[in-house]
Structure 1
Amino acid sequence: MRVLVAEDHRVLARTIATGLRRQAMAVDVAAAADEAERMCLLTAYDVLILDRDLPVLSGDEVCRRLRELQDPPRILMLTAAGELTDKIYGLTTLGADDYLAKPFDFSELVARVRTLSRRAPKQPPTVLRFASITLDETRREVSVDGRPLELTPKELAVLHLLLVAGGAPVSHDELVRTVWDEHLDPRTSAVRATVSRLRGKLGDPGLILADKGEGYRLCD
């Protein structure tokens, strides 16, 4: 899942981004509304966490503009304006998909982001299976032949993308775009190292094959 956090409070933005990355999400950050709009036009984000009070251009205006796109991201407004009238205005007039007032509990934010991502079209089933691998998306639990595995957030996100592909190759660039964020150097060995660790935990190196020039795929 790829998320954009549009928040001008640097400490809060960094805290949210770090926490979501620990939940196996790829997260980018924008400090201004016009920057957030530009990033949404260039990247297909699943969820946009949007502060209403942003510099240069208001979050309200960005929400209105993004709603005109053919396939906009799901928008979660995160704002200090927490009165009932503010919420109704954000959800109805502005067209936000969800509304969360500050201060907030981080576990609630994660739950709302995950719920919004499931509302998007063409979502895979809750439980993904391929060969001996099972991934329960809701519980974030992975097993191989019934044996539970402990995976890092990045390993879990890579495996999820490979399972969704169902044996089709997933390119290195797609892994970088979906699992990491815009700051990762595409030439880095991070993808290869993560796949290598994942193979070791799966216990069968042959479950993940590297197709030269095409990326990685699951093999039964």
Structure 2
Amino acid sequence: MRILVIEDEPKTGDYLLRGLGEAGFVVSLARNGRDGLQMAAEGGFDLVVLDVMLPIMDGWQVLRSLRLQEGGADIPVIFLTARDEVQDRVKGLELGADDYLVKPFAFAELVARIRTLLRRGPPREDDVIRIGDMEIDVMKRKVSRQGQRITLTAKEFGLLHLLARRQGEVLSRSIIASQVWDINFESDTNVIDAAIRRLRSKLDDPFEPKLIHTLRGMGYVCELRAP
């Protein structure tokens, strides 16, 4: 497995380069955001470990740009940063990060999180899910409505997949947070609502009928409702 580390602090970058290499990964290192984005965009990496406070381009900009590039939407990204405020963690996840680990960190935990993300895959029993005119090819991670391809980030796909495979079931925000982000969100954050809005803008706004519905005070459900 190939991992790209984007880290400008020399000691931390060298430590990750050596340690992840010893853990069995093939590791490349970029020491600023611009070079890191270029390397990630060129492809071939299975996962990116990304710092926030980077020269030239910060980590937020790198991730935002990467998610908009062809092939960049599906690369798992772990933020590894000293920024430990709740709003920073929320921002990172809202931008499409798959995990967020705060410095100082335990190297064993980082490796465990990397391996968890690399192992994660769609359930085999749901190769194709159809709801109305929407089709989700789980193995190819492709989504379409009315025959039109819909491009989703890795996190948006995970959110849609959860809603679709449990279609008709109302899922609370806490269930969505734990299943899609593997984390418990504080009750006053709007990460789930923001993610649903982004998903609807791609999946529902251009089409009829709507498939993602809100039940106030309860959560969200994906289903085809009778007109």
**What range is the shorter-chain TM-score in?**
0.5 to 0.7
**Which residue is 2:64 aligned to?**
64
**Which residue is 1:90 aligned to?**
92
Deviations 1:126-182 (A, max 9, x none): xxxxxxxxxxxxxxxxxxxxxxxxxxxxxxxxxxxxxxxxxxxxxxxxxxxxxxxxx
Residue range with higher mean Cα deviation, 6-15 or 112-121: 112-121
**Structure-to-structure mapping, 1:114-125, within 5 angstroms:** 114-119=115-120
**Structure-to-structure mapping, 1:1-220, within 5 angstroms:** 1-72=1-72, 73-92=75-94, 94-119=95-120
SS in structure 1 at match of 2:41? helix
SS in structure 2 at match of 1:49? strand
**Which residue is 2:174 aligned to?**
none
Q: Structure 1's 103 and 119: CA in aligned 2 closer, same or farther, altered over 3 A?
A: same
Q: Structure 1's 110 and 51: CA in aligned 2 closer, same or farther, altered over 3 A?
A: same
Q: CA deviation at 1:89?
A: 1.3
- Letter of the structure 1 residue corresponding to residue 9 of structure 2: H
Q: CA deviation at 1:69?
A: 2.7
| Alignment coverage as a number of residue pairs | 122
Q: Report the Cα distance in structure 2 between the residues aligned to 1:76 and 1:83, rounded to whole angstroms.
A: 16
Q: CA deviation at 1:118?
A: 1.8
Q: Structure 1's 29 and 121: CA in aligned 2 closer, same or farther, altered over 3 A?
A: farther
Alignment TM-score, normalising by the size of structure 2: 0.51
Q: CA deviation at 1:119?
A: 2.8
- Letter of the structure 2 residue corresponding to residue 102 of structure 1: K
Deviations 1:89-142 (A, max 9, x none): 1101x211110011100000001111111236799xxxxxxxxxxxxxxxxxxx
Q: Structure 1's 37 and 121: CA in aligned 2 closer, same or farther, altered over 3 A?
A: farther
Q: Report the Cα distance in structure 2 between the residues aligned to 1:120 and 1:30, rounded to whole angstroms.
A: 27
- Letter of the structure 1 residue corresponding to residue 18 of structure 2: T
Q: CA deviation at 1:10?
A: 1.0
Q: Structure 1's 106 and 41: CA in aligned 2 closer, same or farther, altered over 3 A?
A: same
- Letter of the structure 2 residue corresponding to residue 59 of structure 1: G
Q: Report the Cα distance in structure 2 between the residues aligned to 1:116 and 1:57, rounded to whole angstroms.
A: 25
**Which residue is 1:200 aligned to?**
none
Q: Structure 1's 122 and 53: CA in aligned 2 closer, same or farther, altered over 3 A?
A: farther
Q: CA deviation at 1:35?
A: 0.1
Identical aligned pairs, as a percentage? Answer: 41
Q: Structure 1's 80 and 119: CA in aligned 2 closer, same or farther, altered over 3 A?
A: same
Q: Report the Cα distance in structure 2 between the residues aligned to 1:55 and 1:116, rounded to whole angstroms.
A: 27
Higher relative contact order (CA 8 A, sep 6+): 1
> Does the 8 Å CA contact 1:47/1:74 hold for their aligned counterparts?
yes
Give the RMSD, CA atoms, in angstroms.
1.9
Q: Structure 1's 120 and 53: CA in aligned 2 closer, same or farther, altered over 3 A?
A: farther
